């Protein structure tokens, strides 16, 4: 029982270290990695290289695949563009196996694990976002190898306790049946642990301790490649059909690889034995490097084979998730990423920003159509009015989705900075939803003007056109402030808002005089002033979005850098 708890404790420390290190690396490099992935996926070779590099850097193939699925869900990647990075992520995840096998079993772990933690921990108290992120990386790295040391020491000495191997002997004596059994066991355990890297470390530890032989350990490696596809599958639940197909391609890629590898497994393992020094059949300590080499060979070989069949994989995935009549108008949503949050909370935050950018685009589209309605009061624009009303409904839905998404994101408790960013995102969503409400108010005012046949004088029409132009500029500045490469233009937004306020005050005074003089009817004047007030409030909300965005931890960190 003591041994079991020591193994569970070691696994817990290993997983905790992996999570902290991955989170820190995502904070340090996540936005840059995301930008790279968005730019290089037009070419399948570049996409494979990008997926591999990103996974090596952030140390999480699950985070990479969740990001790819979310890109497909947002319409930023087509299905064929998503396949390359998915294949590359499978290659990149083999880096962890080499890290564990070369450092975890060739070097005295305690000689550097604790010093690394000792260097990283004080950085968490430094008043710098970058220092705290690197603290997570170093502490996570140290805890990862400390957990591996606990795993190694928790595995019983087989020489002293041969009975511990008895049940494994019973399972491993059925030839091909045993191989398939351990593939299945490893798949299930990877799904339960939700980390192929942790499962790889467990497999290497068991092989190095002599619990399982090289052949059985290789079968478990194949199973881990099947089990790791579940993360992307979960991330696609409720997503649009392109995202679902991307997750299916990930599953097909790994499953096909395991199917063609199994008949050749003995031959390939003999090749690995010939190429890598040491004999794992007589020296269990030679198993770690042999397993790392096999893991890398499997993913490289599978990618080299299947990269030529990307269109065919896409067609099979499309057959599995058939198109619908309304697929062309299917709107990207955030709900499907909830299950993937625990894997990559820092990257999920970028998707919240992307959703806020989509909200601004919806409001911009609404206001663009609204300007058409306001400047053509005699035209019957029923279709445009209906479109604006649908846009207002959409902003309400998007705010609800962002709130629900952020609630899950905050629940991960990844870091204080993440909590601040979630608060900022919720504030921006609130103000953008109000922008949709004001657009709706303006539509109703325009409809009243049309139904009643109200006419504005020339000065009122001129002021209205000028106000429409200023609010349009304010929305454009807001949109730019939320793009990944853009910086919040707080000064410009404040300048535009002052111009909007001046115009509103000037127009109010001028048209109050017009109503007194009888050149503008009282009812017409009240509708006109209501229009100005709603546009001024819309400008207020866009300014608040820019101000909140510029006060976010990420924006402060960029300014400090």
Given 288, 320, 352, which residue is the final one in a domain?
A: 320
Given 320, 354, 389, which residue is the final one in a domain?
A: 320
Identify whether residues 397 and 479 lie together within a single domain: yes
Identify whether residues 276 and 358 lie together within a single domain: no
| CB distance 235 to 340 below 8 Å | yes
CA distances from 226 to 221, 232, 234, 245, 488 (A): 9, 11, 14, 16, 43
* pLDDT recorded at residue 337: 43
* pLDDT recorded at residue 345: 62
Identify whether residues 8 and 69 lie together within a single domain: yes
Given 264, 286, 320, which residue is the final one in a domain?
A: 320
Residue 224 counted as domain residue: yes
Residue 334 counted as domain residue: no
Residue 339 counted as domain residue: no
CB atoms under 10 Å from CB of 242, counted, come to: 25
- Helices marked H in 209-344 — which ranges? 214-227, 229-235, 241-261, 265-275, 287-306, 310-320
Identify whether residues 457 and 532 lie together within a single domain: yes
Using CA atoms, how far apart are residues 116 and 136, in angstroms rounded to an integer? 11
Identify whether residues 272 and 365 lie together within a single domain: no
Using CA atoms, how far apart are residues 169 and 213, in angstroms rounded to an integer? 10
Residue 333 counted as domain residue: no
| CB distance 361 to 479 below 8 Å | yes
Identify whether residues 303 and 255 lie together within a single domain: yes
| CB distance 278 to 290 below 8 Å | yes
| CB distance 402 to 390 below 8 Å | no
User: By C-alpha distance, which of 39, 45, 38, 42 is closest to 308?
Assistant: 45
DSSP 390-423: HHHHHHHHHHHHHHHHHHHHHHT---HHHHHHHH
* pLDDT recorded at residue 305: 92
* pLDDT recorded at residue 347: 62
Using CA atoms, how far apart are residues 363 and 439, in angstroms rounded to an integer? 8
| CB distance 117 to 24 below 8 Å | no
* pLDDT recorded at residue 391: 86
Q: What is the pLDDT along the chain (561 residues), one digit of tens a residue?
A: 555 666 677 667 766 776 676 666 666 655 565 566 656 556 778 888 888 887 776 666 766 776 677 667 656 677 888 888 888 888 887 877 777 776 655 555 556 677 778 888 888 777 776 777 778 777 877 776 676 666 656 555 444 444 444 445 556 556 677 788 888 888 888 877 666 777 787 788 778 777 778 888 889 899 988 888 876 776 666 566 777 888 888 899 999 999 999 999 989 988 988 888 888 877 777 888 888 899 899 999 999 999 888 888 888 988 888 876 544 444 444 444 444 544 556 667 777 887 888 889 889 888 888 887 777 766 666 677 778 888 888 888 888 888 888 877 776 655 666 778 888 888 999 999 999 999 888 888 888 887 777 777 778 788 888 888 899 899 988 888 887 655 667 888 889 889 988 888 888 887 777 767 666 666 777 888 888 899 899 989 999 988 888 776 555 444 444
* pLDDT recorded at residue 18: 62
Number of separate domains in the chain: 2
Using CA atoms, how far apart are residues 335 and 235, in angstroms rounded to an integer? 9
Identify whether residues 278 and 357 lie together within a single domain: no
Identify whether residues 230 and 83 lie together within a single domain: yes
CB atoms under 10 Å from CB of 18, counted, come to: 22
User: By C-alpha distance, which of 102, 109, 107, 151 is closest to 289?
Assistant: 102
Residue 78 dihedral angles phi and psi, to the nearest 5°: -80, 170
Identify whether residues 517 and 399 lie together within a single domain: yes
* pLDDT recorded at residue 107: 52
Using CA atoms, how far apart are residues 119 and 208, in angstroms rounded to an integer? 30
* pLDDT recorded at residue 332: 43
Residue 165 counted as domain residue: no
Q: What residue numbers bound the domain in which 451 lies?
A: 344-560
Identify whether residues 269 and 412 lie together within a single domain: no
Task: List Cβ neighbours of 257 (8 Å cut-off, separation of 6 or more).
Answer: 225, 298, 299, 301, 302, 305, 306
CA distances from 423 to 350, 460, 478, 506, 552 (A): 14, 40, 18, 37, 9
User: By C-alpha distance, which of 221, 209, 343 is closest to 272?
Assistant: 221
From its phi and psi, is residue 218 left (phi > 0), alpha (psi between -120 and 50) or beta? alpha
| CB distance 426 to 405 below 8 Å | no
Task: List Cβ neighbours of 503 (8 Å cut-off, separation of 6 or more).
Answer: 463, 466, 467, 470, 532
Residue 162 counted as domain residue: no
Using CA atoms, how far apart are residues 410 and 404, in angstroms rounded to an integer? 10
* pLDDT recorded at residue 109: 54
Place of tokens 């008949």: 263
* pLDDT recorded at residue 261: 92
CA triple 420-422-423, angle to 5 deg: 65
Residue 338 counted as domain residue: no
Identify whether residues 442 and 476 lie together within a single domain: yes
Residue 305, CA atoms < 13 Å, CB-side half-sphere:
14
CATH, residue 478: 1.20.58.220
Identify whether residues 119 and 243 lie together within a single domain: yes
């Amino acid at each position: 029982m003591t041994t079991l708890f020591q193994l569970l404790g070691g696994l817990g420390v290993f997983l905790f270290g992996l999570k902290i290190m991955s989170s820190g690396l995502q904070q340090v490099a996540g936005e840059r990695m995301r930008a790279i992935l968005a730019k290089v996926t037009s070419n399948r070779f570049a996409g494979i290289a990008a997926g591999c590099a990103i996974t090596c850097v952030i140390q999480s193939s699950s985070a990479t695949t969740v990001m790819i699925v979310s890109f497909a869900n947002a319409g930023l990647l087509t299905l064929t563009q998503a396949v390359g990075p998915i294949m590359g992520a499978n290659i990149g995840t083999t880096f962890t196996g080499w890290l564990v096998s070369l450092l975890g079993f060739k070097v005295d772990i305690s000689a550097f694990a604790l010093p690394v933690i000792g260097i990283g921990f004080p950085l968490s108290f430094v008043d710098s976002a970058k220092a705290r992120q690197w603290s997570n990386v170093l502490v996570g790295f140290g805890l990862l190898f400390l957990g591996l040391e606990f795993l190694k020491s928790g595995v019983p000495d087989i020489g002293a306790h041969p009975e511990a191997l008895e049940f494994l002997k019973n399972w491993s004596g059925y030839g091909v049946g045993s191989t398939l059994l351990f593939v299945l066991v490893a798949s299930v355990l990877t799904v339960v642990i939700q980390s192929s890297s942790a499962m790889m470390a467990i497999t290497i530890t068991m092989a190095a301790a002599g619990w399982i032989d090289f052949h059985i350990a290789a079968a478990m490696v194949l199973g881990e490649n099947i089990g790791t596809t579940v993360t992307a599958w979960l991330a696609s639940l409720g997503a649009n059909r392109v995202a679902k197909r991307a997750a299916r391609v990930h599953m097909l890629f790994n499953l096909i690889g395991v199917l063609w590898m199994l008949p050749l497994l003995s031959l390939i393992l003999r090749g690995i034995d010939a190429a890598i020094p040491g004999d794992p059949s007589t020296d269990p300590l030679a198993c770690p490097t042999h397993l790392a080499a096999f893991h890398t060979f499997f993913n490289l070989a599978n990618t080299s084979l299947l990269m030529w069949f990307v269109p065919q994989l896409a067609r099979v995935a499309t057959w599995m998730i058939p198109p619908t009549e309304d697929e062309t108008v299917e709107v990207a949503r955030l709900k499907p990423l909830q299950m993937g949050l625990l894997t990559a909370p820092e990257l999920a935050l970028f998707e919240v920003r992307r959703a806020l950018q989509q909200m601004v685009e919806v409001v911009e589209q609404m206001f663009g159509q609204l300007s058409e309605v306001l400047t053509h009061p005699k035209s019957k624009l029923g279709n445009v009015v209906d479109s604006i009303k649908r846009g207002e409904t959409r902003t309400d839905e998007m705010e609800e989705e962002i709130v629900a998404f952020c609630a899950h994101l905050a629940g991960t408790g990844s870091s204080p900075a993440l909590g601040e960013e979630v608060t900022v995102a919720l504030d921006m969503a609130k103000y953008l939803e109000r922008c949709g409400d004001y657009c709706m108010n303006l539509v109703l005012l325009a409809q009243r003007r049309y139904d009643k046949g109200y006419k504005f004088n020339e000065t009122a029409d001129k002021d209205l056109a000028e106000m429409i132009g200023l609010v349009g500029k304010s929305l454009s500045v807001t949109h730019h402030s939320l793009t990944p490469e853009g910086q919040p233009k707080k000064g410009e937004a404040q300048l535009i808002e002052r111009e909007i306020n001046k115009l509103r005050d000037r127009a109010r005074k001028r048209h109050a005089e017009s109503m007194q003089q009888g050149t503008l009817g009282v009812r017409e004047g009240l509708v006109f002033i209501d229009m100005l007030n709603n546009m001024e409030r819309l400008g207020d909300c866009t300014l608040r979005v820019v101000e909140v965005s510029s006060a976010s931890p990420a924006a402060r960190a960029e300014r400090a850098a």
